[in-house]
Every structure is written in C-alpha cells, then in structure tokens.
Amino acid sequence: MDVISETYGEMPNLDDDDFAEDKPSNFDLLTLTNLDSNLTNLAHNFSWLLNASESLNIDLIKKFQRNRRVDDEAYYSLIVCYSLLIILGATGNSLVVVAVIRKPAMRTARNVFIINLAISDLLLCLITMPLTLVELLSQYWPLGDLPFLCKLVGTLQATCIFVSTISITAIALDRYQVIVYPTKDSLKTVGAVLTLLLIWKVSFILALPNFIWRTLKHHVVNLPDLYSVNFCFEDWPMEHGRGYYSVFVIVVQYCLPIVTVSVSYAMICRKLRFRLENSSVRNSKKTEREDKRMKKTNTLLISIALIFCLSWLPLNLYNLIVDFYNPFGDDMEKLLIVYAVCHMMGMSSACSNPLMYGWLNDNFRKEFLEIFRLICPRCCKEKPKGQRQPTSSAPGKVGAKSQAPLPSPRGGDERPMVLYTKASQGEEANGNCAPKEDVTYITQVVTNATL
C-alpha cells in the first residue's frame, strides 16, 4: 500500500504504438492523464504529443491548462469534505497537546503515547492532508520544480500513519499490562519517551520506499500560457513492486495492529469481568453500578477496535486492488473520487482519536473543559463552589460521607485498585458502623482515566 497513493502509479501504460506516426489525428488528451510509474516513452514524446496532434479536445486542453483533474462539482465537494476533516482533526488534536502543555501533572508515561498519537494526527491534518488534496485535484505537480518536496509529501504521510497506528497499538498494550497485571512495575516516563523515539524511527524506515522511489519529472509542453509541467509519481524498479509493498503495509499497518488491539481489549474485558464476578458479597445497588460501569468499559473498548478497523479497511483494500488490477480502466475521474473517499475514511481516524483517547479520558476531559472556560467563559460556566456536596447515606450506615478520590500515584495517572475492607456486624467499616451484609469486602475500582 502506498499511503499517499499517487494516482499516476495506477494508470495503464502507454506504449510505442501510442506515439506512432500513423496514429489517428483525433487522439486526445485523455491519454495524457493516464500516466504510469514507468513512462519512459512519455518522457521523450510528451512535447511531440501535444504539438503534433491536429485535433486535440479543446475542453481537455483547457482543463489541463487550468490544472484540474475533476469537474467543478467534484472539485468543490472534495475541498469542502477535506476542509471539514482538517478543521475537526486539527482542533481535537490541538486540544490534546495544549492540555498536556498546560498541566505538568498530565505528562505521565501513559499520556505520552496519547500525545504522540495527537502529534502524528496533527501533522496529518495540517500538512499531508492539504498536500494530498492538491495532488488529487491537479493534473500535474503544482508545487514547482522541487524533487525533495515531491518525496517528502508521500514519506511524511506514510510515516505519520505508521506512527499513529503503532501508537494506538502501544496504548492498547500499556492498558493491558496495567489492568491485567497491576502489581507489575509500569512503564516510566523516560522509558515511554525512548519508546516514542523508537516508534518514529521504525515508522520512517517502513515509509522509506516512498522516499526512495518517488520522483519528479519535468516536461516541456509549449501550450499557451503553459511552457512546462512537472509530474510527481512513483517509479518502482520492478513490475508490481508497489503492489508487493502494499501487501507488506497491509500486514504491518492494518492486520497486526487490529489483531493486537482486539486481543488486548478482549483480555482486559475478561479480566475486569472475572474480578467483578469473584468479588465478595455486595449489595444490589453497588452491583448494578459496577455492571453499568463494566458495560460502559466494554462498549468503549469495542468501539476503539471497531473504529480503527472500519477507518483503514477501505484505503488498504483500494491500494491492494488497484496496484495489481485497475478496475476503472481509463475512467480517471472515477478512480480519483473512489480514492478520495477511501483516503478520507482513513484520515477520519485523526478526528476520532482525540474523542476516543482524549474526551473519554476523565483527566483529559477536565482539561478540555478548563480550556473551553478560558476561551468562552459564558459557554462553560463552572458550578458555584459554595454549594455543598450531597452526602451519601445507606440503611444502617450512620453519618456516611462522600469519600474524596484517592490521590493518583503518578500525578493524575489513575490506575485500577482493589480495595479490601474488613468488618463485622457492630464494627466500623471505613469509619462507619454497618451491618455485615451491607459491607463490600473486596471492591474493584476501575476509572475512565485508566481506560
């Protein structure tokens, strides 16, 4: 899979017959747009094609001079859709980054992976998505004679996608270790930072073929108001080389992460259910609350795995199919639109990640609300501090008060805890006199901040 998927690399080849002297004079510019990765003939005959053809399609010539690949309806629709993705993704991921910058307590080992995910998604939204949109809409490379920029566009997007995927996998594995094996030493901040450096290094290596085989070709066309054009495409040294790379990327970027994330979250749900079922006698109200919490946790974990699967499946399938067999033939516009839809579905993960890993995290949500209050005090009014908190009471429990949350052992990074309470009838349990049957001996506490 080529994550930026230059459409030049998916067009049928032009052979020597296309440039033969007896070629009919009604040969139009449709073949111009059908560029392939290995168009050595086109490099030598491009100027001849434009100047020697006697009856070129005038509309296509104007379309080429305007540097547009699609009609106006598709052109503006793609701009609107990509703009919405860019704005939503950039806003959500910026909130995650700002929340950590504002609060040192948020700079925990676990949050390091979430920040890394936000940074990679932010790069996708602010840099690679706009450049990909420009390439989709343009007949030729519009960013000048800059070969390095041509290589950078594909490589940066591939790297950021790998970083995002590996970060999601690392978050799942970290949650699995913390919840399933809570007594083991968790990852420290220094170790997390070193892991991030390794993630970026591995991601760049995986994306390196995009940098090596992307090239910029310069062609003189001598059209009115258009002397020359540049094309940025992939020139693989072997037939189906790009297809083989797509298979490799599907395994590394999609199959392995989805299996790892799904298995990790399934084990987490199983462990939490086991602890809940094997706890001591509890009252019915507490059992109902814990069941609701368990259902909420299961729904969240299943949603994370499902959204990841659905977001990246279309783009991976598209690249795999088109790299080996192009079902669109010469219909360039249909190919571009299908690719754009698949690409936008993949990029939508940059919008959903801040929601799944940020807003649904208690600590991040509190920081987001504080940021909203700073931006718009009237929109997010804080509850008056003079109001007394309601006290909890239960039959048989005298003077029961709401307990303050236990302090986090790692500066706001909450972890699952098992609370042991020993009591008998007539004795105090957590400072309250309670009948034996109303006392929960073992209570499993799992917070959204942990998940």
**Residue 172 half-sphere exposure, CB side, CA atoms within 13 Å?**
26
CA 363 to CA 370: how far, in whole Å? 11
- What number of other Cβ atoms are within 10 A of residue 325's Cβ? 8
Asked whether residue 426 is assigned to any structural domain, the reply reads: no
Q: What is the per-residue pLDDT across 66-121, written as a single tens digit (0 to 9) for each?
A: 777 888 888 999 999 999 999 999 999 999 999 988 888 888 888 889 999 999 99
CA 27 to CA 223: how far, in whole Å? 17
Q: Which residues pair with 219 in a beta bridge?
A: 229
Asked whether residue 382 is assigned to any structural domain, the reply reads: no
3-state secondary structure (DSSP) of residue 336: helix
Asked whether residue 448 is assigned to any structural domain, the reply reads: no
CA angle 223, 227, 230 (to 5 degrees): 110
Give buried/exposed letters for 384-423 (b at 16+ CB in 10 A, else e): eeeeeeeeeeeeebeebeeeeeeeeeeebbbbbeeeeeeb
Asked whether residue 381 is assigned to any structural domain, the reply reads: no
Asked whether residue 397 is assigned to any structural domain, the reply reads: no
The pLDDT, as a whole number, for residue 367 is 87
The pLDDT, as a whole number, for residue 260 is 94
The pLDDT, as a whole number, for residue 278 is 73
Q: Distances in Å between the alpha carbon of 89 and those of 93, 176, 302, 352?
A: 6, 27, 22, 8
Asked whether residue 159 is assigned to any structural domain, the reply reads: yes
CA 336 to CA 175: how far, in whole Å? 39
CA 92 to CA 112: how far, in whole Å? 17
Asked whether residue 433 is assigned to any structural domain, the reply reads: no
Q: Are 272 and 446 in contact (CB under 8 A)?
A: yes
Q: What stretches of 104-188 show up as alpha helix (H) in DSSP?
A: 109-123, 129-137, 147-180
Q: How many folded domains does the chain comprise?
A: 1
CA 148 to CA 451: how far, in whole Å? 41
CA 33 to CA 6: how far, in whole Å? 12
Does the pTM exceed 0.85? no
The pLDDT, as a whole number, for residue 183 is 73
Asked whether residue 425 is assigned to any structural domain, the reply reads: no
Amino acid at site 127: I
Question: What CATH number does residue 106 fall under?
Answer: 1.20.1070.10
Q: Percentages helix, strand, coil for the chain, rounded to the nearest 5? A: 60, 10, 30
Measured in whole angstroms, the distance separating CA 246 from the mean position of its chain's CA atoms is: 18
Both tokens assigned to 270: 């199983």
Task: Supply the range of the domain harboring residue 31.
Answer: 7-375
What are the mean pLDDT values of the chain's consecutive 10-residue runs (451 residues total)? 41 37 41 41 45 52 70 91 96 92 84 92 94 87 87 92 94 88 77 91 95 88 74 86 91 94 90 76 64 77 88 92 83 88 94 88 85 80 54 44 46 45 42 42 43 56
Would strands 214-223 and 428-429 be described as parallel, antiparallel, or unpaired? unpaired
Nearest to 145 by CA among 48, 219, 64, 65: 219
